[in-house]
Amino acid sequence: MNQELVIEQKIIGDMIVLRPAGDIDMARSSAIRKAVTEVVRTRPAKLVIDLTAVDYMDSSGIATMIEALQSSMRNKMKFVLVGVGPKVRSAFEITKLVGMFTICDTVEEAAK
């Protein structure tokens, strides 16, 4: 996929959901980093990143997820990943980071 990363944002109660669509790689991870920074600034109770429409993520994407987790913790926000597909999960597993994150199957589950 060559197009720029499209990131949808939804507010559900006290939770903000970011839903990027496309591959998250070196060319596109800065877009999700910027979106996360903007959300953290508003300090919702929970930040959810819905990866259902992300087929591929490289280490720059994983680094962005670590940054999002750490900045959420600093701001006393909950951070949840949703819809982690097999290729993205493999990237987390090989870097031994999968246990660091709260991962849910759906946004509804993340909202609980």
Partner 1 sequence: MVIESMERNPEISIRLFSDPHLLSTIRSTVEGLAKVVGFSEKSRGLLMLAIDEALANVIRHGYDGRTDEMIWVHLWRVREPRGIRIIIEDLGRSVAPEKIKGRDLSDVKPGGLGVHIIKETMNESCWEQRPEGGMRLTLVKWLSPEELQNVTPTKPENTFP
Cβ neighbors of 83 (< 8 A, separation 6 or more) are 50, 51, 52, 53, 54, 105, 106
Which CB sits closer to partner 1, 12 or 89? 89
Q: Whole-number minimum distance, CB 96 to partner 1, in Å?
A: 5
Which CB sits closer to partner 1, 21 or 100? 100
Q: Is 101 in the site for partner 1 (CB under 8 A)?
A: no
Residues 23-62 that bind partner 1 (CB under 8 A): 23, 25-27, 56, 58-60, 62
Cβ(50)–Cβ(88) below 8 Å: no
- Distance (Å, rounded) from C-alpha 51 to C-alpha 58? 13
Cβ(51)–Cβ(90) below 8 Å: no
Q: Is 13 in the site for partner 1 (CB under 8 A)?
A: no
Contact pick of 44, 64, 80, 81 for partner 1 (by CB under 8 A): 64
- Distance (Å, rounded) from C-alpha 51 to C-alpha 57? 10
Binding site for partner 1 (CB under 8 A): 1-2, 23, 25-27, 56, 58-60, 62-64, 66-67, 86-87, 90-91, 94-97, 100
